[in-house]
Every structure is written in C-alpha cells, then in structure tokens.
Chain A
Amino acid sequence: MPETYVHKFDTPTFKGEISVPLGLYIDGKWVDGSSGNKIDVINPSNGKLITKITEGSPKDVDLAVAAAQKAFDTTWGLHKNGFERARLLQKLGDLMEQNADKLAALEALDNGKTFNWARTTDIDHSIRCIQYYAGWADKILGQTIETSEAKLVYVRHEPIGVVAQIIPWNFPLQMMAWKIGPALATGCSVILKPSEFTPLTALFVAQLIHEAGFPAGSFNLINGYGHVVGQVLAEHNGIEKIAFTGSTLVGRKIMEASSKSNLKKVTLELGGKSPSIVFDDADLEQAVKWAAFGIYYNHGQCCCAGSRIFVHEKIYDQFMQRFTEHTKSLKVGDPFDPEVYQGPQVSQQQYDRILSYIKSGKEEGATIVTGGEPLGQEGYYIQPTIFTDVKPSMKIVREEIFGPVCVVIKFKDDDDIVAMANDTIYGLAASVFSQNVTRALSTAHKIRAGTVWVNTANMLYPQVPFGGYKQSGIGRELGEYALANYTAVKAVQVNLHLNLS
C-alpha cells in the first residue's frame, strides 16, 4: 500500500502540514510500483533528502496504458461530452485554487523557487491555464464544407486517444497544467511523467484530479527516470501521441523512438538561447529591469530565458552600469524568505553544469563583470553572473546554460543585429527594446523565434500560443493552438444521391 509523506512547514511565508501521496496513480488508484524501487527527492536549498517516491517501471507503464485505453473506450473520450469534461476541469481549477498556498509551498520546497514567486506566478498561472482549457472543452469545432448538393461533408475533431506527457523540473506545476489542460479538455486519456527531480506538486494535484471526479484511467501518473519510463513511453505501441518539454538532446531521442515504434505524434518544447536586444532609443531604465527579469527569473531556469543580451554601443556603458548594479541587488537565499529573489538551482547536477559553463567562459577568455561563484555552504546556490567580452564561438554564447548567467554583447548595426540574434540553432523567444515602433516591429518580425516580446520579457498567458522555431521545438502549446496537438481530424463524406453507373 503506497504511503503518504507529511511535510511540516514552519517558515516566514508558509506554516502548516502538507500530505503528499508517494505511489503511482493508475486507473483511479494509488498503487505501489512493480519494481519496488524508490527515487530520492532532494531539497535543493540544503541538499538533504525530503522523502522517497515510488519509481515506475515498464510494467507500470503497460498497466497505465491499458487503463488509459479502457477509459478512452468506455468512460472518457467522447463518452463524456464536452460540457461534462468542462465541468470536471472547472472543478479541478477550483480545487487547485483552494489549495493554492499549499501548492506554492510544495513547489518552493521541491524546486527551490521562492514561495512568493511560486504563489504569484506558477500557481496562479497554472490555475488560470486549467480554467482556460475547461472553457475549450465544449467548443471543439470542426467544419462543414461545401462540395456539391449531392453530398454532405463535415469534419470531426476527435480526441487522439492515449497520450503520454513528459514534463520538466523548472516549472513543475505550470508544465503539468499546460499539458493536461488541453489533453483532458479534448477527451484524451493522459499518462503523465513528472520530472524525477520535482514530483511533489504533480502528486498533490493527482489527488485533486481524483477528488474532482475524473473517471478512472482518464489521468494516470507515473514517476520515474527519463531513460527508463520516458523511453518506454516514447517507444510504446499503445500510445498515440507524446508531448515532451525538456532539453533538445532528449527531444531528439523521443522523436527517434517514436519514428522507430508506431510513428506516434510528437510535440516538443525544447531549449533556447534567446536574444534580448536593447536599442539606443530604448527606455533604458525599463530595458535594464526587463532584461534582468528575462535572464534571472526562475534562476535562469527558463527555456525562453533571454540569455544573450545585445546592447547598442551608444548606450552600452550606461546599460552595463545599471544592469550590473541591478544584478548585484538581487538577493539570493532561502526560498521561504520573503525578501529573497532567487533560491537555489534545482539539483546538484544542474549546479555542477552551470559552474562548469562559468569555468569554460573564464577559460575561453570572457570577462566576469559580477558573480561567477557559488554561494553558501549547503544547497545549490549560484550568484547571478554577467559575462562580457565574448566571442560568438564561445560555449557560453552558443549553448544553453540554464542558470542565472548571461552574456552581454555590444552591437551597432540594425541589420547586423538581426543576423547576430538569429545566429543560433534555437528559436524559442526574443525580446526587443526600443521606443521607436517601426524599429521595434521590423526587428521583431525578422527574428526567427516563436515568441517575440517588444519592451517586455518572459510574459506568458494561457491564451497566447508558445513554442519554438528551429531546434527549439515542434508544435505550439497554449491558446487555441494547443488543441490541435490533441485532436485527430476526420473528414466524413456522406453521399446523398451520387450513383455510380
């Protein structure tokens, strides 16, 4: 019988007890995994063990797929009409709202982001995302199309079937909402694999899904390692579609596994090395703040982080002065401290990786303006870091660091800047700062990225599509666009009186 873990919080921003189930959630029940193995869940603010969760195995995946398919064929899919699916998602949104503080506390504990950021951005956005997709559930429309008076032709947008969803550790709850929202709204059955680093909020929300009344098998949760459970999901012949958010490296593996198994549909949200471009006619004060937000938000652990900051030479010195000052003012510390801006990075692995990039930056000859060192005796804290004097070939300029580390590059030419900004295998996002609308929009339209922010950064809304150009991904999440990821188009042609001779 799977256990639950109770964590007692006594912090300045949250006090109380939260109970989290530790098993797998399959076919409407909490179960032990078939392997009996466990995965350690570590607190990134001190490196210590929080608890151990059940590790899923390939056999567990088979059970989940069977349960998901059964639900799809009997109690879920189109057997629950859009109004009913809407109602269930609304109930889930309500339950999440009632538990918003608890979810924020769990997220801060597990991921290391501050409680305040979690509460006001992650959790709020996640709730709105679920509510947004609840609103779509009874609005999945197809067309009727005129061909001739002899025929009736219409298009159905049917749910795809059993879908696998693999989510990352940087925005655990938010990524879960982005995935399950459109999938459940359209009537797909879901098998979710949270990140093995940050499973706690997903486990908590699985309880809420159960409480909301979703039929058994419509939603299943299997924790496990990417190379085990993730790989099995990508290869499984009983899964019609897989959605993955994570690194480009793993994204390739998933696409390859799909092509070698049953050609399941694949959508990918991968990495980025997004440019922030500050023109000489930008509102400097605001550009500094937004550019900082663009890289340091979530400790730099954002796929769309504006990690390459291009500054026009005319304002370079002023920008650097203010940007450095601003960067130094960001308080790094305990996630539950209300004064803190940035908590620890999520894991030892990420911590090591970021520090190794910083090392390579120094070795390749870049200059550290501020930061560059870890902080504290325990936990995975790293100072917000600025590199200058970089060359396009340097690793810190080409590769995604996924930490609070940016490179700042001088430019002088409007056309050249577009070339420099686009000089990357990635294409997830970009920010353009200028008060001249012609300049801002022309530049924005030339940048090859799925989201371009003008005079802002890192702002996402459930109703606005998000996704990557080039190697940043395939497909779009959010907005109405996400529905296309979970529906299959069927054209029905009814012959009224076209007779063959």
Chain B
Amino acid sequence: MAQPVTINIAATGRKITVPTGLFINNEFVPSIDSQDTIQCINPATEEVICSVVAGSEKDIDVAVAAARKAYKTTWGKNVTGWERSRLLNKLADLIERDAQELAELETLNNGKPVKIARDFDIGDSVQCLRYYAGFADKIVGQSIEVDNKTKMAFTRHDPIGVCGQIIPWNYPINMWSWKVAPALACGCTVVMKPSEITPLTALKLSELIIEAGFPPGVVNTVPSLGSVGGAALSSHMDVDKVAFTGSTVTGRRIMEAAAKSNLKKVTLELGGKSPHIVFESADLDQAANWTGLGILYNTGQDCTAGSRLFVQDTIYDKFINILVEKFKQLKVTNGFDEEAGAGPVVSKMQYDKIFSYIEGGKQQGAKAVLGGEKRPGKGYFVDPTIFVDVKPDMKIARDEIFGPVLAVAKFSTEEEAIALANDTSYGLGAGLHSNDASQCMRVSQALEAGTVWVNQYNLLNNNVPFGGKKQSGRELGSYALEEYTSVKAVHWNYGEKLDWPL
C-alpha cells in the first residue's frame, strides 16, 4: 500500500497518477499501524476509482509531530514573510499549470462538471493562493504609545502554530485552498484531513507542495474517517487550532473536543438553510437565473445554497412559471459531458438522504411542481426539484437537504418576508431581488446572515470575508488572517525603575 496508482480517464484519454499514501514530511507513506483503506467512488458511474490509505489516530500523531517540528525549525518564525509569499505564489503557478488534470480528477471523484471545476473551483483557488501570498509579508502589529518616558509597547501577530484543517467533499480543491492559503501565509503549519469521500485531489496537490519547495512537515495530508482523523485532530493536545467546514452536527463535536482537550482555537463553517427573496419590483428573468444558481450550482451541495425561496404574492404565478422553465434547461449529467451544468451528487449516502427528504416533503403535504422522482440507471443523479406550498414547520423548510431541492413559499409584505427568512437556526447566506434601492438597503440590513446578496446569489470573492452568524470565525478577505495569528503584546521598559518594598 501507499504506492501511486494510475487512473485512466475514459472520457479524455488522460492517465493520472495519484499517490495513495499519507503525505507526511513531504513523503507518501503507509499507515504506521493500520491496514485500513478508503475506497474512492465515481458518483457518475458508481464504480470504484481506487483506494487510498486510511489514516489512524497514530498517523495523526506522526503528522502533528512533523508539523510541530517544521514549525519550530524551518517554518513558523524561522521563515520570512517574503519567503512564504514566494512559495505560495509558486504553488499557485503550479496549480494553474496542472489545472486541466486536477479538474478531471476532481470531476472523477466529486462529479462536478470538468469546466466548472477548472474555471471556477480551480481558478478561484489559484487566485485565493495568490491573494494570501500577497498578505504573507504584510502581517503587521501595532506600536502603541503608553508613556514615552518609560516604556514602549507593541504587538506581534505571531502564527498560531500547528493547525488541523478538516475539509468537506463539496468543493475539495477550493476548500483546500481556503484553508491552506491563510494558514501558510501567517506561518502556521498544517495537518490537513480531506474528506474521506474525496481525498484524491488533496493527495495530488500534496505533490505540488513538494515541487513548490515547501519544507517537509509544513503541509501534511492525512485522509481519514471523520470519526478517526477528525476526532483525533480536534482532541489532540499538540494542535493549536482546528478549522472545520462541514455539518453543524460535526461542528458541535469538534468544539466539544477542543474544549475538553487543550482549549485549542476553533473556527467552524457549517450548514445553512439560506433564504432567497424575490420582491415584485425585481427583474424576474434575472431573479430566476440567480435562484437557479443558488440552488442548482454544484447540484445544491453548497453550504450557502438558497434553498428556501420566498416570492411576493403579486408576481408568484408568473415567477414560478419562469423558474420551472429555467430549471428544466439545466443539464444534470456526467461531469465529463461538455454540456453538463451540474453533475451527480457525491455519494450514495447523500443520494439516499436527499430522496428521503423529498419523500418526507411529499408526505408532509408539499407539492412537487418539478422533479422529485428517481432516475433509472447508474449514477447518483438527482433532478432539480421544486416544492411549492411549503409551510415553515415542514422538514424540507427547516433541515439542510444539501441537494437540488427548492422549498417555495409566498409572502405579501416586506416584514413578512424578513420574518420568514430569519426563521431558521442557521445564518450563513441570504439573497434578495428588488429594484427598489431603499428596500434593498432595509432588507439587507434586517437579514440575519453572514453574507447577504443583493440582486445576485452565490458569488464569492477571495477578498470578501465569508462566514455565518451563529458560527465561528470568518474565512477569506483580511479577516481570515485573524484566525491564524496569535497576538502577543510586548511591554518594554526602558525608563522606569521599580521602588521596593511596595
């Protein structure tokens, strides 16, 4: 085990070699104490792609030790911001060079269309790395006037240290870059646990870490089950910080483990049940396009998916008709198909979960005006589904489905829309469409979400922070740096002598 495998991509004729060992200290190695493996499945065909080594709790120990050693010797405060910048830029260049190959591997394991993986997932990731490369030599603290005669005080923004990073399967490469870039820019070292469903691109990216010239131990990659590797990182006594993106349920466990172990810093990007509001003055055609993007992009497997749609009663019938037509236009098929606008959902487990919500929706009295039926044949394909007459207490209105299933309800006043939108335990994203500028301002101020989109949806930018209300921390933008730095205040006496006794 731990030998690279060669994967044939039938659709493009490309052969990709993928390392299958654990990436520790710039080497791919077998597990130190376990024979377990993880099978990677192609969700479009349900076939096994290959197997990779499954990291154990002891492997996490080894990786953390490697990260700690690098932090103390070749990384951390031992490397200049300029050098960190240089290496991150080099990594970005390499990913850009290999974009097509990485995109095909991403599609094979995750299902998303190749051109979206390449131009968006990977394009954004390259830009993210470059953005944080630009910050690496700009980590500044404050010098603070206390008393000019006696002392000076200043702050240092030191790297936090060894960071455990646990990423999900919906945007494997993109989530990898969001985590790795700010951590490395600040001088932290990383133990990355990619999702056990989609570990392949994280392993392939590890090869580029070597090629870019990062010292051994700075980035380590340990594919592992969440309950094994994720749990081990969260409770590890020598991990200074854990960053997690995934479900709220798991997020709670991570925070609990951190509290019970060494009070490590925790940042969490969790789920959402984001409201999407269409007011009567909206450009209906555009609003329908953005609504489609909001729930169908990435086949609805997006934490900010606009999964609850609220339409003003005066335009309801008209809008729903437009929406249904738009949704029908999206081609949901194998990601290697040039025409694909969305692929299969990532796994059998997700597929079953989504359909159980669909069945539940029907049973609770919602009406499916589009989709809601299983397709024959192989592959975890879920067709765009629109439920109308959804009541706020239905499960499809309260729970995160993480699929292309939209729950629609009507409203008449702006106040009602806001109340309905905010009636959720989540607070990640929200969107509204209106041509009334004051309404846009009022409603965007009132919506309780970490990101509010006005007359668009879903589009993020690397320099704009992202995160949720009722969640911890922010990613992207300059804000992400705060999650990877530890502030030390230095008080330097140069003029005061202390009298004793007091």
Task: Spell out A's residues near B (CB within 8 Å).
Answer: 82-83, 86-87, 90, 128, 131-132, 134-139, 141, 149, 152, 437-438, 441-442, 445, 462-463, 480, 494, 496-497
Please, what's the 1-or-0 string for B118-155, where 1 marks a CB less than 8 Å from any CB in chain A?
00000000010011011111101000000010001000
The reply to whether the CB of B424 lies closer than 8 angstroms to some CB of chain A is no
Q: How far is the CB of B415 from chain A (nearest CB, A)?
A: 14
Instruction: Answer yes or no: B500 CB below 8 A from chain A CBs.
Output: no
Q: Are B89 and A90 in contact (CB under 8 A)?
A: yes
CB–CB A139/B478 < 8 A:
yes
CB distance from B57 to the nearest CB of A (A): 39
Q: Is B133's CB under 8 angstroms from A135's CB?
A: yes
Q: Which residues of chain A are within 8 angstroms of B138 by Cβ–Cβ distance?
A: 132, 135-136, 139, 463, 480
Whether B438 lies near A135 (C-beta < 8 A) is: no
The answer on a CB contact under 8 Å between A128 and B82 is yes
CB within 8 Å: A-B pair count: 69
Q: Does B11 contact A (CB under 8 A)?
A: no
CA distance A134 to B130 in the complex (A): 10
A480 to B65, CA, bound (A): 36
Min Cβ gap B85→A in Å is 7
Please name 30 pairs of A and B residues whose Cβ atoms are closer than 8 Å in the assembled complex, sorted by A: A82-B463, A83-B130, A83-B463, A86-B130, A86-B131, A86-B134, A90-B89, A131-B86, A132-B138, A135-B136, A135-B137, A135-B138, A136-B138, A138-B134, A138-B462, A139-B134, A139-B138, A141-B478, A437-B492, A441-B492, A441-B494, A442-B494, A480-B138, A494-B441, A496-B438, A496-B441, A496-B442, A496-B445, A497-B438, A497-B442
| Contact residues in B for A128 (Cβ distance below 8 Å) | 82
Compute how far the CA of A131 lies from the CA of B442 in the bound complex, rounded to whole angstroms: 42
B495 CB within 8 Å of chain A:
yes
Cβ-based interface call for B81 (8 A): yes
* Nearest CB of chain A from residue B50's CB, rounded to whole Å: 36
Could you tell me if A139 and B85 are in contact, using CB atoms closer than 8 angstroms? no
Q: Which of B134, B441, B462 has the most CB of A within 10 A?
A: B134
User: What is the distance, in angstroms, from A6's C-beta to the closest C-beta of chain B?
Assistant: 32
Residue of B nearest to A149 (CB): B445
User: What is the bound-complex CA distance between A152 and B130, given in angstroms?
Assistant: 32
Query: When chains A and B are docked, how far (Å) is the Cα of A441 from the Cα of B494?
Result: 7
Nearest B residue (CB) for A463: B137
Choose one: A90, A138, A437; the contact of B494 (CB below 8 Å).
A437
The minimal Cβ–Cβ distance linking B231 to chain A, given in whole angstroms, is 37
Residues of the B chain whose Cβ atoms lie less than 8 Å from the Cβ of A86: 130-131, 134
Q: CB within 8 Å of A: which of B71-100?
A: 81-82, 85-86, 89
Specify the main secondary structure of chain A where it touches its partner.
helix
User: A137–B134 Cα gap in the complex (Å)?
Assistant: 9
In the complex, the chain B residue whose C-beta lies closest to that of A137 is B134
* CB under 8 Å from chain A, chain B span 18-50: none
Going nearest first, the 8 A-B pairs with the smallest beta carbon separation are A135-B134, A438-B494, A496-B441, A441-B494, A138-B463, A463-B137, A83-B127, A138-B131
B interface list, Cβ under 8 A from A: 81-82, 85-86, 89, 127, 130-131, 133-138, 140, 148, 152, 438, 441-442, 445, 462-463, 478, 492, 494-495
Smallest CB separation, A136 vs chain B (Å): 7
Q: Which residue of A lies closest to B461 (CB)?
A: A83
Contact A90 B130 (CB under 8 A): yes
Complex: chain A residue closest to B439, CB-CB: A496
| Chain B contacts for A136, CB-based, 8 A | 134, 138
* Given contacts A152-B441, A437-B494, A135 and B148 within 8 Å (CB-CB): no
For B438, list chain A residues within 8 Å (CB).
Answer: 496-497
- In angstroms, how far is the closest chain A Cβ from the Cβ of B20? 34
CA distance A83 to B127 in the complex (A): 8
Is B140's CB under 8 angstroms from A132's CB? no
Which residues from B are CB-within-8-Å of A131?
Answer: 82, 85-86, 89
Pick the contact of A139: B127, B135, B136, B441 (CB < 8 A): B135
Enumerate chain A residues within 8 angstroms of B441, measured Cβ to Cβ.
Answer: 152, 494, 496
Report the bound CA distance from A149 to B135 in whole Å. 33
Q: What separation, in Å, do the CA atoms of A393 and B499 have in the docked complex?
A: 45
In whole angstroms, how far apart are the Cα atoms of A131 and B136 in the complex? 11
B387 to chain A, nearest CB (A): 35
* Bound CA span A87–B127, Å: 9
Using Cβ atoms and an 8 Å threshold, which residues of chain B touch A445? 148, 152
Q: How far is the CB of A221 from chain B (nearest CB, A)?
A: 26
Within the complex, the shortest CB–CB distance from A155 to chain B, in Å, comes to 15
Given A131-B85, A139-B463, A497-B442: A442 touches B495 (CB 8 Å cut-off): yes
Q: Please indicate the chain A residues that have their CB under 8 angstroms from the CB of B85 in the complex.
A: 131, 135
Residue of A nearest to B133 (CB): A135
Q: Are A132 and B137 in contact (CB under 8 A)?
A: yes
| A240 CA to B148 CA, complexed, in Å | 38
B444 to chain A, nearest CB (A): 9
- CB of B187 to closest CB in A, whole Å: 15
B150: min CB distance to chain A, Å: 10
Task: For A446, give the chain B residue with the smallest CB separation.
Answer: B148
Which residue of chain A is the closest to B185 with respect to CB atoms?
A135
Cα–Cα, bound, A137→B131 (Å): 9
| CB-CB nearest in chain A for B494 | A438
Whose C-beta in chain B lies nearest to the C-beta of A441?
B494
A268 CB to nearest chain B CB (Å) = 25
